[in-house]
């Protein structure tokens, strides 16, 4: 399968500073607890330590979003489409998968039904119509009759000197020579520079894990933006992935320091516009709830720090 040259280059992803208050407390004792991180939680901490705290320690839920549910549905359809023989992977076949895949998602997460008002026929038709439009747009970017993914919704996990890295890869293609192309679908628009670093960081995270697992650096990382029909490609090399490795180690140290000190300071940015927790954020006039008992342990609990969601969009 031919691979195309890189068109996207990631600026450096910075780790926000976490002040180290010198306190005379012992580090939290985490017997038998494995340190683990997912790209989503790593990204949260890089964006804002307080956001990481809200999600991992306080476990504040994010507002349910019809767009996010539609993204999950589209990912599901694109995954299942490859169950069909190559010549059957048509727009019509993909569209026909939308309703049954939605029902399958509802079986696992019945609360998703609240996002689509089934009594409002026009709104429901519009919601499904938008999902189908995204799928149709994908057909203008890729030809599924010519693709045979090696893996779909691939769970990956590896150990990075005591830190477990884990996540889900939307699609993994292999060239006849065995070279890897990592593909991630995004149902939104291709990002500004501000968000591109975040998206590429996630892809480099997967590339690092795959390199560790398979001994080969993926040849291509490919982000497929269905919102505006754009593909961003990046060819990683060992130096870039070693930089990600160093960044992740430093990031985990910063998380441990924040857990020890309880210093989860906010980091205000344009990304606050998409934060569900502004009402509790000091940067926006709010007051966070008191840290719960055992906050340090909660901060490092791998069930939260490495929470992974298939089709995380």
DSSP state of 266: -
Nearer to ligand SF4, 51 or 255 (CB): 51
Number of residues that bind ligand SF4 (CB under 6 A): 14
Nearer to ligand SF4, 3 or 272 (CB): 272
Per CB under 6 A, 281 contacts ligand SF4? yes
DSSP state of 272: G
Segment contacting ligand SF4 by CB under 6 A, of 91-99, 104-112, 162-170, 262-270: 262-270
Q: Which of 222, 206, 234 is nearest to 142 (CA)?
A: 222
Q: Which of 297, 298, 305, 301 is nearest to 28 (CA)?
A: 297
Nearer to ligand SF4, 90 or 257 (CB): 257
Exposed / middle / buried, residue 17 (Cβ in 10 Å: 0-12, 13-18, 19+):
exposed
Beta-sheet pairing, 180-186 with 220-225: parallel
Does residue 272 contact residue 238 with C-beta atoms inside 8 Å? no
Helix (H, G, I), strand (E, B), or coil: what is residue 312? coil
Does residue 169 contact residue 208 with C-beta atoms inside 8 Å? no
Nearer to ligand SF4, 68 or 231 (CB): 68
The 166-205 site mask, x for binding ligand SF4 (CB under 6 A), equals: ----------------------------------------
Residues with Cβ within 8 Å of residue 42, at least 6 apart in sequence: 201, 205, 248, 251
CA separation for the pair 300, 304 (Å, rounded): 8
Per CB under 6 A, 277 contacts ligand SF4? yes
Near ligand SF4 by CB under 6 A: residue from 174, 272, 297, 307: 272
Q: At its nearest, how many Å lie between ligand SF4 and the CB of residue 286? A: 8
Helices (H) and strands (E) in the chain, counts: 9, 6
Near ligand SF4 by CB under 6 A: residue from 189, 246, 268, 303: 268
Nearer to ligand SF4, 267 or 305 (CB): 267
Distance of CA 51 to the CA centre of its chain: 15
Does residue 267 contact residue 18 with C-beta atoms inside 8 Å? no
Q: At its nearest, how many Å lie between ligand SF4 and the CB of residue 282? A: 7
CA separation for the pair 236, 234 (Å, rounded): 6
The DSSP code sequence of 217-253 is --SEEEEEETTTTEEEEE---HHHHHHHHHHHHHHHH
Segment contacting ligand SF4 by CB under 6 A, of 104-112, 130-138, 222-230, 264-272: 264-272
Nearer to ligand SF4, 53 or 75 (CB): 53
Q: At its nearest, how many Å lie between ligand SF4 and the CB of residue 268? A: 5
Site residues (CB under 6 A) for ligand SF4, limited to 17-76:
48, 50-51
Nearer to ligand SF4, 45 or 225 (CB): 45
Nearer to ligand SF4, 60 or 231 (CB): 60
Q: Which of 106, 111, 15, 16 is nearest to 61 (CA)?
A: 111
154 strand-pairing partners? 169
Near ligand SF4 by CB under 6 A: residue from 251, 267, 301, 312: 267
Segment contacting ligand SF4 by CB under 6 A, of 5-13, 136-144, 265-273, 300-308: 265-273
Segment contacting ligand SF4 by CB under 6 A, of 9-17, 136-144, 225-233, 272-280: 272-280
Q: Which residues would be at the binding site for ligand SF4 (CB under 6 A)?
A: 48, 50-51, 266-268, 271-272, 275, 277-278, 281, 283-284
């Amino acid at each position: 399968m031919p691979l195309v040259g890189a068109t996207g280059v990631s600026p450096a992803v910075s780790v926000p500073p976490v002040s180290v208050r010198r306190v005379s407390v012992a580090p939290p004792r985490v017997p038998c607890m494995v340190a683990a991180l997912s790209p989503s939680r790593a990204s949260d901490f890089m964006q804002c330590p307080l956001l990481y705290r809200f999600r991992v320690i306080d476990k504040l839920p994010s507002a349910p979003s019809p767009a996010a549910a539609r993204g999950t549905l589209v990912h599901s359809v694109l995954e299942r489409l490859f169950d069909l023989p190559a010549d059957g992977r048509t727009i019509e076949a993909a569209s026909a998968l939308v309703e049954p895949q939605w029902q399958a998602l509802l079986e696992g997460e019945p609360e998703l039904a609240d996002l689509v008002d089934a009594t409002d026929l026009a709104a429901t038709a519009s919601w499904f119509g938008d999902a189908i439009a995204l799928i149709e747009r994908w057909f203008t970017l890729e030809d599924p009759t010519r693709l045979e993914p090696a893996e779909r919704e691939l769970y990956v996990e590896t150990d990075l000197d005591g830190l477990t890295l884990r996540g889900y890869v939307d699609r993994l293609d292999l060239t006849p020579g065995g070279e890897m192309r990592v593909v991630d679908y995004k149902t939104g628009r291709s990002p500004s520079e501000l968000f591109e670093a975040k998206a590429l960081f996630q892809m480099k995270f997967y590339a690092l894990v795959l390199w560790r697992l398979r001994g080969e650096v993926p040849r291509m990382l490919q982000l497929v933006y269905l919102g505006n029909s754009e593909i961003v490609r990046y060819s990683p090399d060992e130096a870039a992935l070693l930089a990600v490795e160093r960044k992740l180690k430093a990031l985990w140290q910063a998380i441990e320091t924040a857990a020890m000190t309880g210093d989860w300071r906010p980091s205000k940015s344009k990304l606050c516009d998409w934060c569900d927790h502004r009402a509790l954020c000091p940067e926006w006039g709010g007051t966070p709830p008191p840290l719960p008992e055992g906050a340090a342990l909660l901060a490092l609990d791998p069930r939260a720090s490495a929470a992974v969601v298939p089709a995380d969009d």
